[in-house]
Amino acid sequence: MRQGDKIALISLVAGFTVWSVGFVALYGLQALGCAYGWPTHRAVLILAYGILVAVLAVPAFWPLRSDGEASATLSVAALWANRAALGAGVLVFLPVTFTSTCV
Amino acid sequence: MLAGAAVLTALVLALLTMAYLRPHRLAGVTAGQWIVGGGLILPIPILMLLTGTALVLGEQLLPRGEVAYRAEARAEQWAWRFSYPDVPGLPVSETLHIPAGEPVDIAVTSADVIHAFWVPRLGGKIDAIPGHRNVIRLQADEPGIYRGICAEFCGPGHETMQFRVEAHDLETFKSMMAGAAP
Ligand SMILES: [Cu+2]
């Protein structure tokens, strides 16, 4: 497999990999903040949300340069998969910034 | 909710019927339009509306402040045991008694593995975790019998792990809690 194809393949799963890691991280931060009563709990969650959206935006707006037919096709698929991951992150993670965290 | 689901089902069935009986009418719609329209433009607003509704309802279900009535639910493989901290003398039972029209806080815990307390008609569902107390606030608007189930797979007896919630009018409930009946 050529180097460009490998990078394109990684890019294809990059967005949703970050999304799933982010989902688990937010879940963990929410639970830890409640368990230990962090006074800055909400700020931590909003900061994590901002970082995740920023990271997700990189592959969504920064398409790969392709060096062949296979990687060109993959790059287009990767770009749109990563845009879907960004959209999913913005929407699905948003509630951690304003809904009740602990009861 | 049911009406919305009925409208969407009718729409999909109508399109499907049309695809069989009058295919030329749909021939002008390109594959891309089907994907963007049916896969993005139609479902995303519906899902956002449902999620928003769920968030608002979820906030309303949270047990904030004090309520007058409390119960405890203890799950074990494979049964539920209900008791009332304000009426310690009452025997532990497999039926939860609550007053109708009043919010009740139910503290849910487990003796062994993770279970989940769920009364579908009263809404809300909460995990029963060993060593941990989760509180769920429920309200039955009308007196009656509401069936509940364990909603987290917990072993070979899971599907039989059902329980009953009996909502009584307030006077009946008070006299029951006073030890009078039934
Ligand atoms: Cu169970």
Q: What is the homologous superfamily of the domain B69-177 according to CATH?
A: Cupredoxins -  blue copper proteins (2.60.40.420)
* Distance between Cα A28 and ligand 1 center (Å): 25
Helix ranges restricted to H, chain B: 2-21, 23-26, 31-36, 43-61, 170-177
End-to-end CA distance of chain B: 38
pLDDT at residue number B181: 44
To the nearest whole Å, the CA of A56 is away from the closest chain B CA by 20
Question: Ligand 1 centroid to B12 CA: how many Å?
Answer: 37
Angle at B85 between CA B155 and CA B68, to 5 degrees: 115
Q: What is the pLDDT of residues A56-99, one digit of tens each?
A: 999 998 877 766 777 778 888 899 999 999 999 999 999 999 99
Residues of B with CB under 8 A from a CB of A: 48, 55, 58-59, 62-64, 135
pLDDT of residue A57: 95
Query: Does the distance separating the beta carbons of B135 and A103 come in below 8 Å?
Result: yes
Cα(A61)–Cα(B151) distance, integer angstroms: 42
| For range B125-137, the mean pLDDT | 90
Q: Please write the tens of the pLDDT for every residue from B26-57.
A: 888 888 898 898 888 988 999 999 999 989 98
Q: How far is CA B60 from CA A4, A60, B56, B136, in A?
A: 52, 36, 6, 11
For chain B, give the number of residues: 182
Give the distance (Å) from ligand 1 centre to CA of residue B131.
15
Q: How close does chain A come to B124, measured CA to CA in Å? A: 15
Q: In chain A, where are the structural domains located?
A: 3-97
CA atoms within 13 A of residue A48's CA, in its CB half-sphere:
24
Q: How far is the CA of B162 from the centre of ligand 1 (A)?
A: 9
User: Looking at A36-50, B6-20, B166-180, which range is the least confident one?
Assistant: B166-180
CATH 2.60.40.420 residue ranges of chain B are 69-177
Using CB atoms, pick whichever of B55, B62, B63 lies closest to residue A95: B55
CB B116 within 8 A of CB B78: no
Q: No. of H helices and E strands in chain B?
A: 5, 9
ipTM: 0.73
> Is A103 close to B48, i.e. CB distance below 8 A?
no
Alpha-carbon distance of A73 to B137, in angstroms, equals 53
Residue pair A45/A30 in contact by the 8 Å Cβ criterion: yes
Which among B82, B77, B65 has a CA at the least distance from the CA of B119?
A: B82
Which residue would you say has higher pLDDT here, A28 or A63? A28
Residues B71, B83 contacting (CB under 8 angstroms) = yes
Q: What is the mean pLDDT of residues B158-165?
A: 91
Alpha-carbon span B123 to B140, nearest angstrom: 10
